[in-house]
Amino acid sequence: MKTEVLKILREAGEYVSGQQLCEHFGVSRTAVWKVIRQLKEEGYEIEAVKNRGYRMGETPDVMTMEELKSRLGTVWMGQECIYLESVDSTNTCAKRLAEEGAAAGTLVVAEEQTGGKGRRGRSWASERGENVMMTLILRPGIRPEHASRLTLLMAMGVARGIRRVTGLPAGIKWPNDVVVNGRKVCGILTELSTEVDYINYVVIGAGINVNQKYFPEEIREVAGSLCLELGRKVPRAELAAAVLEELEGIYEVFLQTEDLSALYEDYNELCVNRGHEIRVLDPGGEYSGTTDGINASGELVVRKADGSVTCVYAGEVSVRGLYGYV
């Protein structure tokens, strides 16, 4: 009921009478009043005027299940939402839930993450109330070798969501970073449980630097946040909802072919590597070249100085700009 009350008040933009709410939910005025009181205690500014009703004012920047779902316009992604005040890693939590049978589309979000994981085992922590830490559980009926493509889909969803909510020129640094004005604002980590030819589940975690203002010295030249780029705070739940709405449509298109044949042109429009000289850090040897983006398989197509072309698979390498991070 709390989620629906938030949604009704937010979408109304004006006073909603207590009687309307009572009739909508089939409850007493006392029950409605208790929900309003709970919301006020959580930091929501709700004006109550006799004979007019309730009107939503300022909302706190929280990532609770009720706040997120009241903003969410998806059909199934995020409709089952697990909210945690603090967690070591949303990916670790999501994997445990997936093992216990959590449905596809289940979302894990947290206010604070103390032991987040990045690519290749790197650690990543996030302070309370600053960023979006979320992990989505999926159970796609695709071959395991195609699962790495899901990282690219999440990157598209994040970049589009950021653009939609903030207007910032978010782009993708292949394969799993989202950047704004040359600074990394989001990392993505995809993990999966598989059999030989079958995926049990996939969890895709996205850590988005939203309202963070300070970064450790060792990453200060590379990392950024939406707040620092925009000059004001960004509502995190609105952003998370936008990302899921964008991702849901992208994912449904992907499932039709299991590749990016219908999406790679859109991806390349967001790809900041495209048209740039890059350095490929391959375990078998470092090399440089120029790329026009990805192909339908999600591989980065790199043209070397000698004219030869190689297709780089996301799980194999790291990519950097020839003269810096991008």
Can you state the angle between helices 2-12 and 29-41, rounded to 10 degrees?
80
Q: How many helices (H) does the chain have, and how many strands (E)? A: 9, 15
- Residue of 128 and 207 predicted with greater confidence: 207
Backbone angles phi, psi at 126, to 5 degrees: -140, 135
Q: Which two tokens stand for residue 142?
A: 């695709």
Can you state the angle between helices 18-25 and 29-41, rounded to 10 degrees?
110
Average pLDDT over residues 144-167: 97
Greatest mean pLDDT among 97-106, 125-134, 283-292 lies in 97-106
d(Cα 192, Cα 142) in Å, to the nearest integer?
12
pLDDT at site 36 = 95
Average pLDDT over residues 119-145: 82
pLDDT at site 196 = 85
pLDDT at site 117 = 60
Model confidence at 118: pLDDT above 70: no
DSSP sequence for 133-164: EEEEEE---S-GGGTTHHHHHHHHHHHHHHHH
- Residue of 81 and 317 predicted with greater confidence: 81
d(Cα 31, Cα 320) in Å, to the nearest integer?
57
| Domains of the chain, start order | 2-56 (1.10.10.10), 65-269 (3.30.930.10), 275-321 (2.30.30.100)
102 pLDDT band, cuts 50/70/90, is: very high
d(Cα 172, Cα 282) in Å, to the nearest integer?
20
pLDDT at site 43 = 93
pLDDT at site 164 = 98
- For the chain, the 3-state helix, strand and coil shares in percent, each to the nearest 5, are 35, 30, 35
d(Cα 195, Cα 179) in Å, to the nearest integer?
34
pLDDT at site 281 = 83
Q: Residues 183-193: pLDDT tens digits?
A: 999 999 999 99
**Locate tokens 């790197």: which residue?**
122
Whole-structure pTM value? 0.93
- Percent of residues, the chain, with pLDDT higher than 90: 80
- Lowest-confidence region among 37-41, 122-126, 155-159, 218-222: 122-126
CA 131 remoteness from chain centre = 11
pLDDT at site 235 = 96
pLDDT at site 218 = 84
Can you state the angle between helices 18-25 and 2-12, rounded to 10 degrees?
130
Q: Residues 264-293: pLDDT tens digits?
A: 999 999 999 999 899 888 877 888 999 989
Name the nearest CA neighbour of 116 among 94, 142, 99, 149.
94
pLDDT at site 283 = 77
Mean pLDDT of the chain, nearest integer: 92
